[in-house]
Structure formats: C-alpha cells, structure tokens
C-alpha cells in the first residue's frame, strides 16, 4: 500500500512537469493531472475519516531529523475542500483558457495545487516555509496571466508582500529552532513554554501569515491582485490561497502556541477581523466592478474567520470549544466553495458581457441563467443565509458569543451580514430586466456547471449535510 500523503503532493508536481514538457497537450494532461491529484487527496481524507490521523515519515528518518507529513481531521477537511474546488476550477479552466494562455496556466496551476496540498499536510515548520513560497510564487505568476499592466503591477505587489510575510515567518522559525532545537510541529509543541521567545516567534510567524491572509488592514494588496487575475485564478486565489494562510495560522495557534496565548492577542486578531468585516463589506458595496466586489468580499470573509480567535480563546476546553472550532472550519470551507463559485460565475458573465461593470451587466446576467444562479447560490452562502453552511457556522459562533456574553461580535457579524446582502443583491438585481428570455438554462456546460456545483455545495451540501465534518474533526489533532 503506497502512502497517500506524499502522493497528494507529488502527483500534481509530476503533472506540472508533464505539462511543462508537452505544452501542446496542456489541457488534456492538465485535466488528467487535476483528476488524479484530486483523487489522491480525497483518498487521504477518506483514510483519515476511517482510520484516524495519518503520518508519513519521509525518507524513513522520522522526527526530529526527517520531515513528516501528517493529516488529521483539520487538515483532511481543508484538503478535501481545496481539492474539490481546485478540480472544479480545473474543469472550468479547461473551457476558459485559449491555447496560448493554457500553456502557461496549467503547469503553474498544478504547482500551486501541489503547494496547497503540501501546506495542508506539512508537519515541519521549515517545510511549511518552502510550501508557502511555492504557493506565493505560483499564485503571483498565475494572477498576472491576463497580462494587463494592472494585473502585472498588482501581482508584483502581491509577490513582494508575500515575500515579506514569508520572511517574517522564516525569522520566527529560526527563533524556534534556536530556542527549542526542533522543527517538527509536534515536537515544537511539546517544547514550547510561555515566555518572550515563544511570544516573539509566534508574533513573527502569525504576523507573516496574516499578511498573506490579507487581514485588515494588511489587505490592501488583495483586491487589485484578485480582481485583475483571470477568473479561474481569482477563484483559486480567493477561495484557497488566502484560506491556506488562515489554516496555517489556526494550526499554529491551536497546536503549537496554545500555551503561549493570551486573550489580548486573540482579541487583537478579532478586532482586526471585525475591521475587515465592516471595511471589506463596505468597499464591496461601493465597488463598480463585479470582480472587485468579489475581492473585497474576500477581505470581509477573512475577517469573519479571525473573529473566531477571541471566541476560541474565551471558550474553556471541552465540547463547546470543539463545536466552535468545527463551526469555524465549516465557515472557512463554505466560504471556499462559495467564493470560488462566485468568481467562476462572474468570469462567465464578464466573458459574455465583455466587461464586469455591475451597473451594465443586465443583458449578460439575463442571458446566462446558470451563471446567475451560481452567483445567487454562492451569494446566499457568502451572506450567511440558510440553508448554507455559513448560516450554521455563524449561528454556532454567535450562540457561543452570546453564551460568553460577548455580544459585540454579534453586532459586528450582523452588520457584515446585512452589508453582504446589500452587495450580493446589487448584482443579482441586474438579472431582472426587460432583456429577452434566455433560451436555455445551461449554455456552456464545462464552465457553468462547475460554478453551479460549487454554489450548490456551499448552499445545500454544507448547509444540510455538514454533520460528517464533526466526525472528521474528531480524528486526532497534531502534537
């Protein structure tokens, strides 16, 4: 039996090489690579589901000398989401890119995918640095694929900010190694003790990550970079790449620095999150272009995720805390699906209309019922309306906030919810006009169905059938 963990990282890598060597067959090879990658990653998730946490000691050395890959419930959940979204994005990209761009898209895309899987499975702090860089470089290169000056400038800025974040993270890793002499997450977690060193290392590492996660007010780089990228890339960047940084921050927070934490640090993250929710939603409401709207909404949604930190910090360990954590993960996963669906559908509308100025989208929105539906379904999940997964997640987070007496988080999240409703319906209202009735529901299956499916998963799948997530997350934590 071959270990599925390294395969989930290596298969997309080999796929990327195949596309690099035979660019003429980029689409076919790329789709094949996407499929086997997704299968291998979902195998990991099902294995975790049925057998519990997995660990693979690469090279057979084991910690502390070697590097290990590890999958517990948390990583398996993010892995499954990322790979399903990436598969949908791949199918969409197969129909979206023309020949010349496809040559460049596919290898970089598979490399990015490899980095994502590597990041979710990594159990070594320095290895995480390498995956972060692989992620950052491939994401910036993909984001600039439209080739416009704005896209190149925005993604250059993204690249530099990402590098700064990585540097901060790496400095934290160096301090950790200096103080504790190990790099394996589990071993570091055992060695960490509260004190200035751990505190500084945590600040550097998580500080670097929130820069990459575009937490307000370090979000400035995100909207132009995500709004100017090609649609499938925007989807991946917004749904997966920033989520990966959040995942890592959560992972470090929970598994490594748990003893170091003070409520003050958690509250700071929460306050920044609240700022992101309000500011991001407001800017999304004011945005003139659909993709810019979607990008600002990403800023807002990252904010919701960081509001989880003060709630987690204030909840004593036990069932309530586990449920809260699961709710936060559910929120992140639903956002992943929904945001990808939104960007993919927006891409279709943009392609049909030739632009994405919201006020003039009437005809295109009316002519593409499936894409508009996808925007609607994704929108329901982004707003947090039932029956979406975000609704459940927000309900659980807010209930816990009220139990703790932290009612102000409820106010913040409700304000964000209403603003989100306003900006989503600003788009949807364009679909109701006097343009001719569309002929068919689906016009271009390979691009519209992935968007629709993502929206359906976010709104119905994770809303009605989220229960398995709780079981998955019970599968052992790191450390």
Q: Does 220 bind another protein (CB under 8 A)?
A: no
Q: Which of residues 245-284 bind another protein (CB under 8 A)?
A: none
- Least CB distance to another protein at residue 321 (A): 12
Burial of residue 166 (CB within 10 Å: 0-12, 13-18, 19+) is: buried
* 359 CB burial (10 A radius; 0-12, 13-18, 19+): exposed
Among 50, 149, 317, 318, binds another protein (CB under 8 A): 149
Binds another protein (CB under 8 A): choice among 43, 133, 258, 443: 133
Under the binding rule (CB under 8 A), the answer on residue 114 touching another protein is yes
Cβ-based nearer residue to another protein, 60 or 354: 60
Q: Does 317 bind another protein (CB under 8 A)?
A: no
Q: How far is the CB of 7 from another protein (least distance, A)?
A: 7
Interface segment toward another protein; rule CB under 8 A; list 65-73, 78-86, 240-248, 255-263:
65-73
Q: Which of 372, 332, 314, 176 is nearest to 257 (CA)?
A: 176
Decide if residue 398 touches another protein (CB under 8 A): yes
Instruction: Give the DSSP per-residue string, 118-181.
Output: HHHHB-BHHHHHHHHHHHHHHHHHHHGGG--HHHHHHHHHHHHHHHHHHHHHHHHHHHHHHHHS
Residue that the structure tokens 């990015």 belong to? 112
- Which of residues 32, 152, 254, 271 is near another protein by CB under 8 A? 152
Span interacting with another protein, options 90-98, 299-307, 351-359, 391-399, rule CB under 8 A: 391-399
Rule CB under 8 A: choose which of 28, 52, 66, 194 binds another protein: 66
288 φ/ψ angles, rounded to the nearest 5 degrees: -90, -25
Interacting positions 428-447 with another protein (CB under 8 A): 429, 432-441
Indicate whether 425 belongs to the interface with another protein (CB under 8 A).
yes
Q: Could you say whether residue 13 binds another protein (CB under 8 A)?
A: yes
Cβ–Cβ under 8 Å, residues 180 and 191 = yes
Up-side HSE of residue 84: CA atoms within 13 Å toward CB?
A: 23
55 DSSP β-pair partners: 70
Q: Are 356 and 289 in contact (CB under 8 A)?
A: yes
Q: Looking at 25, 31, 53, 126, which residue binds another protein (CB under 8 A)?
A: 126
Print the SS3 string covering 322-341: HHHHHHHHHHHHHHHHHHHH
State the burial class of residue 65 (Cβ atoms within 10 Å of its Cβ: 0-12, 13-18, 19+): exposed
Measured CA to CA, the distance from residue 76 to residue 473 in angstroms comes to 8
32 binds another protein (CB under 8 A): no
* CB neighbour list of residue 98: distance below 8 Å, 6 or more residues apart: none
Q: Which stretch binds another protein (CB under 8 A): 197-205, 236-244, 248-256, 348-356?
A: 197-205
155 versus 298: smaller Cβ distance to another protein:
155
| Among 35, 53, 64, 363, contact with another protein (rule: CB under 8 A) | 64
Specify whether the CB–CB gap between 324 and 311 falls below 8 A.
yes
Cα–Cα distance, 370 to 352 (Å, whole number): 13
**154-183 binders of another protein (CB under 8 A):** 155-156, 159-160, 163-164, 167, 170-171, 174-175, 177-183
Nearer to another protein by C-beta: 193 or 288? Answer: 193
Chain centre distance of CA 234: 11
Find the binder of another protein among 395, 408, 446, 474 (CB under 8 A). Answer: 395
**How many of the chain's residues bind another protein (CB under 8 A)?**
114
Q: How far is the CB of 27 from another protein (least distance, A)?
A: 16
Residues 291-310 that bind another protein (CB under 8 A): none
The answer to the question of residue 457 lying near another protein (CB under 8 A) is no
Q: For residues 318-337, which are near another protein according to CB under 8 A?
A: 319, 323, 326-327, 330
Closest approach of Cβ 249 to another protein, in Å?
20
Q: Which stretch binds another protein (CB under 8 A): 36-44, 136-144, 227-235, 309-317?
A: 136-144
The CA-atom distances, in angstroms, between 95 and each of 34, 113, 344 are 14, 19, 11
CB of 151 to another protein, least distance (A): 10
Neighbouring CB atoms inside 10 A of 411's CB total 11
């Amino acid at each position: 039996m071959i270990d599925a963990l390294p395969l989930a990282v290596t298969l997309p890598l080999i796929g990327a090489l195949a596309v690099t060597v035979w660019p003429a067959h980029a689409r076919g090879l790329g789709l094949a690579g996407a499929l086997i990658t997704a299968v291998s990653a979902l195998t990991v998730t099902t294995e975790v589901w049925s057998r519990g946490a997995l660990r693979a000691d690469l090279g057979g050395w084991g910690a502390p000398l070697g590097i290990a890959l590890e999958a517990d419930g948390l990583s398996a959940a993010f892995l499954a989401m990322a790979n399903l979204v990436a598969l949908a994005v791949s199918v969409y990209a197969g129909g979206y890119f023309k020949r010349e761009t496809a040559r460049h898209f596919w290898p970089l895309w598979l490399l990015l995918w490899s980095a994502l899987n590597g990041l979710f499975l990594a159990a070594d702090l320095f290895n995480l640095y390498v995956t972060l860089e692989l992620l950052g470089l491939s994401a910036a290169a993909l984001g600039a694929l439209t080739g416009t000056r704005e896209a190149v400038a925005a993604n250059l800025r993204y690249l530099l900010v990402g590098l700064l974040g990585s540097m901060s993270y790496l400095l934290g890793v160096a301090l950790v190694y200096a103080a504790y002499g190990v790099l394996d997450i589990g071993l570091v977690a055992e060695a960490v003790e509260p004190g200035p060193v751990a505190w500084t290392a945590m600040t550097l590492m998580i500080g670097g990550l929130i820069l990459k996660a575009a937490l307000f007010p370090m979000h400035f780089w995100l909207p132009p970079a995500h709004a100017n990228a090609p649609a499938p890339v925007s989807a991946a960047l917004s749904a997966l790449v920033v989520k990966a940084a959040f995942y890592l921050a959560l992972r470090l927070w929970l598994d490594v620095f748990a003893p170091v934490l003070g409520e003050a640090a958690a509250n700071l993250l929460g306050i920044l999150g609240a700022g992101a929710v309000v500011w991001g939603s407001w800017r999304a409401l004011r945005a003139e272009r659909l993709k810019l709207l979607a990008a600002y909404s990403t800023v807002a949604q990252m904010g919701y995720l960081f509001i989880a930190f003060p709630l987690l910090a204030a909840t004593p360990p036990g069932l309530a805390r586990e449920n809260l954590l699961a709710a936060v993960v559910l929120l992140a996963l639903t956002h992943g699906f929904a945001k990808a669906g939104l960007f993919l559908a927006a891409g279709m509308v943009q392609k049909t209309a030739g632009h994405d100025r919201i006020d003039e989208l009437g005809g295109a929105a009316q002519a593409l019922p499936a894409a508009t539906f996808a925007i609607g379904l994704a929108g329901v999940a982004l707003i947090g309306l039932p029956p979406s997964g975000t609704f459940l997640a927000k309900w659980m987070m807010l209930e816990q906030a009220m139990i703790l007496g932290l009612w102000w988080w409820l106010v913040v999240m409700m304000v964000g919810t209403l603003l989100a409703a306003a900006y989503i319906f600003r788009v949807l209202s364009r679909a109701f006009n006097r343009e001719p009735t569309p002929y068919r529901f689906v016009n271009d299956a390979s691009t519209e169905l992935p968007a629709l499916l993502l929206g359906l998963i976010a709104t119905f799948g994770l809303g009605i059938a989220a229960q398995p997530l709780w079981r998955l997350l019970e599968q052992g934590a790191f450390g």
